[in-house]
Homo-oligomer: A and B are copies of this chain.
Amino acid sequence: MASAGPNEPQQSGEQLRQMLPELNSARPTIAEIARRAGVNKSTVSRALRDDPSIPQATRQRIQDLAAQLNYVPNASARHLNHARTDTIALVSRALNLDTGAGSADPFLVELLAGIADEAASHHFDVLLVRAEEGERELGVYQRILGGRHADGVILTDLRPNDHRLAYLCRHRYPHVLFGRSAEDLAEARLYPYPWAEVDNRSGARIGTEHLIGLGHRRIAFIGGGDTYHWERDRRAGYREALARANLPYDPRLCIPSGISQKDGYLLTQQLLSWEEPPTAIFAISDVLAVGVMRAALDAGVQVGPAFSVIGFDGLGLGSYLTPPLTTLRQPINEVGRILVQLLCAVLRGTPPEEPHVFLQPELIVRASTRGY
């Protein structure tokens, strides 16, 4: 699998080994600067922070010296003092290679972009942590927050009765939720940490109503299990739309699934083999919808007004599918930004008056429901 590179391998390996001892060369400490400047550590510390109690001339001299020596303050030392790390963590299960997914979720990148951007402007670092499952799930949070690797954490993929949330609340570990807090938890009611969420239920309802408005009566809903709030809420929205339109709810049309394209593909294949297949499919995510559309195409079913497909998320990809995918767009970047703002506010000790942000998804109608 791995083969030798172009340059002589042994030599470079050896070369690298020899240079390693120099690794820690020349990262000056505040004491070193003090020595060179002929002042005390404390004076240097103050000068570098532009403390007015140090005369301008001295300040300048010390700052120049520091710059010249490429001085950068040691983060650990600072963190230890301040009992803050200026770091927030994102724990995500989308990073787990093992668990099903297989296909990388573009959703995470968009969220990360928003988070990284906003965090940078607040001078915060972002720690990326893969979620563990089962027994070890809480251990991750204990390690990160108890051990002060980060000051707070962004929690995603909330579940009903989420024991991670209960744990964070009980320990007063600062956090924000992507997804509304489970009001079913006493801890969450007692410690109402902020959350931001896109209205999954309304989104799914609006999407389903769109399909109903096109005349569809047999609408399948493919997606998700019973685990996460977002999937339950979207399913609830679907059922709500049916109810409002006085359409019967047929449990056989509401099909649980995994979250990959493949799941969408296989389940759609199955649906289309029915005697009386549905005339429209609501896929719980755009990723899933990709598989749905592919299956339809493979079965020779043309996606459009007669057989409609709608997704959820509004990934950039959607408009380039065949046909372009109708979807509910979530402002994912925006959510990332807001989550960081909320968390930073909590960490600053000034939580926002209104700690709950509820965003509306936007229906984007494309050819997969409308036709060309």
Contact = CB atoms under 8 A, between A and B. Distances in A.
A119 to B, nearest CB: 9
Contacts of A3: 358, 360
Interface in A329-372: 333-334, 338, 346, 349-360
Nearest to A338: B2
A143 interface: yes
A233 interface: no
A45 interface: no
A354 B127 contact: no
25 contacts: A1-B359, A2-B354, A2-B359, A5-B180, A5-B354, A5-B356, A6-B180, A7-B192, A7-B356, A12-B192, A15-B192, A16-B193, A16-B194, A20-B346, A72-B143, A80-B80, A94-B109, A96-B117, A104-B316, A105-B106, A105-B109, A116-B128, A260-B316, A294-B321, A297-B322
Interface of A: 1-7, 9-10, 12-13, 15-17, 19-20, 22-27, 70, 72-77, 79-80, 83, 85, 87, 94-97, 102-110, 112-114, 116-117, 120, 125-130, 142-143, 146-149, 171-172, 174, 180, 183, 191-195, 260-261, 265, 290-291, 293-294, 297, 315-317, 320-322, 333-334, 338, 346, 349-360
